[in-house]
Structure formats: structure tokens, C-alpha cells
Amino acid sequence: MLPQARPLPNPDSRLSSAAKIKLSMATTASVPPEILAKYEAVIGLEVHVQLLTATKAFCGCANQFGAPPNTNVCPVCLGLPGALPVLNEKAVEYATLASLALNCQVRDRSIFARKNYFYPDLPKGYQISQYDKPLAEHGWIEVPTPAGTKRIGITRLHMEEDAGKSLHDGFPDSATRTYVDLNRCGTPLIEIVSEPDIRTPDEAYEYLTRLKEILLFTGVSDCNMEEGSLRCDANVSVRLRGAEKFGTKAEVKNVNSFRFIRAALEYEIERQIEIIESGGRVVQESRLWNANEGRTYSMRSKEQAHDYRYFPEPDLPPLVLTARLKEEVVKLMPELPEARRKRMIAEYEITEQDAQTLTATRSLADQFESAARAAKNPKRVANLVQSELTSRLKARCLELEQSPITMKGIAFAADLAEEGKLSSKQLKQLFDSAFESGEDFPAVYEREKPQQITDPAAIEKMIDEVIAANPKQVEQYRGGKKTVAAFFVGQVMKLSKGQANPALLNELVTKKLDG
């Protein structure tokens, strides 16, 4: 008689979660600050990232989000008997590229292993992963903290495959059935495990932000959290400040934004401190973050669930990185965000904050640089982005990449301003028009061609008018307070409805006042 199979609880959480949930503050609000201050948190993060390959990790099925359910499947990713995996070369390249970008030491020979557990979205009954010989180890990322730059260690980066997707709700028989879509099954992943070097929720947030930025620059993933291409679990424990030994940790899962991770960690740290302060003991367990309620819940998974009985994958040979492949990867390495910001600050004389905004994505930085190199004054291009563009984007909830005005358009505007062909008021109006019509700056400028008064006599006439109306300020100026000139420039600009040529106006005001 054959032994009978029966379902076991899922040791891994890959639960669907609503993509957009309002952020609620996550505090238990019962632990006084002086008690919280006695403790320190120890946090480690595990990040799973889907690689942007055309095909899956071990078969030729398309690696594509949003395809009709169960259409990107084949005998290999369905786990049909006799099907054999063959590793995707691009996935190896990307995983190696990410490893190098994260300052890891890459192993010449790494080993794939089977991680065994039962769940309906894992048809083989095991996940192909890496265990004791991962692709890369001993990396680090630098993150900004209030006390200066801090280096967060990366324990390891290994390759593995994703599982399929279980749908628990939304079908007529959802009360008794779970629906399974295996399109995602076999998608290439890298798992990046940090050292327990992180001490605060803010540091965790910064680590994730920097990690995502680096991965985006390398182009190995789109890091889209809503589509699940980047997922994060956090291990957190607390201990009295100065204590050597780590406390008992809990694992927080199901968190789908960096802000939620920060909130979940804040909640979890307070929860653990509260338990210890009241004489209790923290239980090692997995906890699910509920963003609606702003708290974590125990998953009550069984202890044995973590016994994955890893063993070397007999169907895959060791992954040997040849010199040729490594050379290919090194060629793909872009200038990374931190280095790029440093160079841009020096090259264009922009501020740290400018550089931060302009390197939000690699493509944005590319666009800025090509526009700035062609512009008369790169600093002015950066200034316009900060002063005119970001506020308008924020007001409309747009990302920099969705801006109607391109970097080229901004450089065009900056040049006009540099040449004194546009007053700042006219510039603002044109920016407004561009946002209203959704057109780029040059198009709006050509259409509206704001009139400019460039006739010196006309400007002089207005200056005379303002001088006559403001004798007190004239006196101040002539008494040596030269800065009052700006007042006259402003008044004349107002009188001209923003149309006076700024360069000419400046010159004439000084001349008139001095004369």
C-alpha cells in the first residue's frame, strides 16, 4: 500500500497582499521612551529579487508578469517526471553582476541545492536554491545614518527559483479551493541576505533604498514591489544596550513597501520590548505584517517547518564561472549611484541634494547628463529641476520619469534664462502651461513666445516711474545700501507684467540709480 499524501502548512509565506493600503502608524504606544532607550534592536534583512531575463531560470518559458494564468509553463517548471533543468546563462550573468555591484566575493564554483517543502504552488516539492556554496558572499553596502556613513554587511547572495502563485480569494468556491497559477514558477531570483548589522528601522529603510538603487542601476531587475519583483523579510530581535548576546528573533513577512518595513520594524521592536519588560519571553516565530491595522500577527507555523532537508541538486552540475563569463559581466558594470553622484557634484557644481534627485534612476541621470553637457550652465539645469519641476510633479503625484517636461526641455529653458531671454516669472508661467497641456517646454515656448520688452527706452520709462514713486528707497540706495536695487528691479518687473528683459533691466536700474 502506498503511503498517503496530505497537505502540510506552508513554511514559506508567499501570500498575496493588497498592493495599495493606507499607511497607519505602527506603535503599541504603551512603552515609555525611557524604557525603549534601554534597548537596542538587531535587524537582518532578506531580500528576494526577480531577474529581468527573457526566460525562466531552468527552462525556455517566458519570464513575464501578467500573462494569462498557466500559459508560460512547460514540463520543466511544472515538475513533470523526467524533465531536466538547464541553467539560464543570462541569469548567471545578472546574479554575478549584482554580486560584484554589492562588493561580494564571487565563488568560482557554486553548488545548487534542493530545498524541500510541500506547497501547491511548488509542483516539484522542492525549490532549486543554493545552500552551503552560494554564488557570492562577504559583500557590503554603505548607508547614510545620523552618525555618518555606516557599512552594512551582506552575508551572501545566492541564486534560486521562484514558486508559483496561490490565489486564496475571489472565486465562487474560494471557501473550499485554492487556485494556483504556475507562470511565476521557475522565475530566476537572487536572495540577498544582510548581516545582522542594522540597528534601527531607519537604517533598514536606508539599506533597502540603497540596495534597490544599486540593483536598478545594474539593470538586473525592475525591483517593482507591487508586482513582487522585490520582496523583503526582516529578522528582528532586541537586547539591552551593551549586551553581547542577541535576543530571540522574530521574522516579519508579507511587507510590500519600504515604508511598511520601517513601520513593521518599529511595531515589532516595541512589541518585543514590551514582552521582555513585563517579564515574558520572545518566541522565535514568523509574523505577518498587517498594514491596515499597523501591527504584526503570529503565523503560528510549526517548528519543523524550517527543516528543509537541503541536499545538492543532482540534476544540475556545479556552476563554474569561467574567466570569459566574468569578463562579460565586468563589461556590463555601470557607474554605480554613489560614485556617479560624487562625480556629478564635482563635474556640474551641483549640490548633494541635486545629485540625489537627479540619480533617482539611471535613465534620469543619463538624460540629465546629456542635457547638462549641452547646456550653457549645468548648475542652472539642476536648479530648475529642484525649484520648478519637483514641486509641480509632487503636486500632481507624478514621478520624475512621468514629467511632461524632459531634461532636454529643462536645459532649453535654462539656456533661455541664462541668456536673459526669459524672466523667472515667464519661466514659471511656461512651466505651468507645459504641465497643463502635457507638452514639453520647447513646444510651449514656441507657441506662447512670451513677449519681452527689450527696448531700453521703454524699460527706462518704467524705471523712471518706479523711482518717482519711491523716493525713500532711492535715498537708501544713494546712501550706500546698494541691495535696494533688487527692490527696483522687482517693482519694474511687476509693472512690466514680467516682460522686461531681466539682463537689460538689471543693467538699466543700476545705471539710473547711480546716475
Partner 1 sequence: MSVSLEDVRHVAELANLELTADEEGRMLRDLNAILEHVAQMNELDTSSVEPMAQVSQVIGEGQTETVLRSDETRPSLDRARVMATAPDTDGTFFKVPKVIER
Binding footprint of partner 1 on the chain (CB under 8 A): 1, 3-10, 15, 53-55, 59-62, 68-75, 78, 86-92, 109, 111, 116, 118-120, 125, 133, 166-168, 171, 173-182, 299, 301, 304, 307, 309, 312, 314, 317-320, 322
**Element spanning 320, H or E:** strand 319-320
How much is the CA Rg of the chain, to the nearest whole Å?
A: 30
Q: How far is the CB of 112 from partner 1 (least distance, A)?
A: 9
- Per the listing, cell 564554483 goes with 109
Beta bridge partners of 290: 295
Q: How far is the CB of 310 from partner 1 (least distance, A)?
A: 11
- Neighbouring C-beta atoms of residue 495, cutoff 10 Å: 17
- Select 114 or 150, whichever has its Cβ closest to partner 1: 114
Contacts of 215-219 spanning 24+ positions with Cβ under 8 A: 215/49, 215/98, 215/101, 216/361, 216/362, 217/101, 217/334, 217/335, 217/336, 217/337, 217/340, 217/362, 218/94, 218/97, 218/98, 218/101, 218/332, 218/333, 218/334, 218/336, 219/52, 219/332, 219/334, 219/362
Give the contacts of 502 (CB within 8 A, at least 6 positions apart). Answer: 420, 422, 423, 424, 489, 493
Cα angle vertex 105, ends 100, 107, to 5°? Answer: 105
The alpha helices in 8-66, defined as continuous H runs, are 33-36
Q: How far is the CB of 329 from partner 1 (least distance, A)?
A: 13
- Select 32 or 170, whichever has its Cβ closest to partner 1: 170
CA dist., res. 195 & res. 153, Å (int): 5
- Select 108 or 399, whichever has its Cβ closest to partner 1: 108
Confirm if 76 and 84 have CB atoms less than 8 A apart.
yes
Q: How far is the CB of 283 from partner 1 (least distance, A)?
A: 18
Confirm if 375 and 415 have CB atoms less than 8 A apart.
yes
- Neighbouring C-beta atoms of residue 55, cutoff 10 Å: 18
Q: How far is the CB of 4 from partner 1 (least distance, A)?
A: 5
- Select 210 or 253, whichever has its Cβ closest to partner 1: 253
- Select 61 or 255, whichever has its Cβ closest to partner 1: 61
Q: How far is the CB of 305 from partner 1 (least distance, A)?
A: 9
- Select 11 or 337, whichever has its Cβ closest to partner 1: 11
- Select 129 or 426, whichever has its Cβ closest to partner 1: 129
Q: How far is the CB of 5 from partner 1 (least distance, A)?
A: 5
- Select 90 or 425, whichever has its Cβ closest to partner 1: 90
CA dist., res. 472 & res. 11, Å (int): 80
Confirm if 333 and 100 have CB atoms less than 8 A apart.
yes
- Select 309 or 394, whichever has its Cβ closest to partner 1: 309
CA dist., res. 501 & res. 491, Å (int): 14
Q: How far is the CB of 64 from partner 1 (least distance, A)?
A: 9
Q: How far is the CB of 303 from partner 1 (least distance, A)?
A: 10
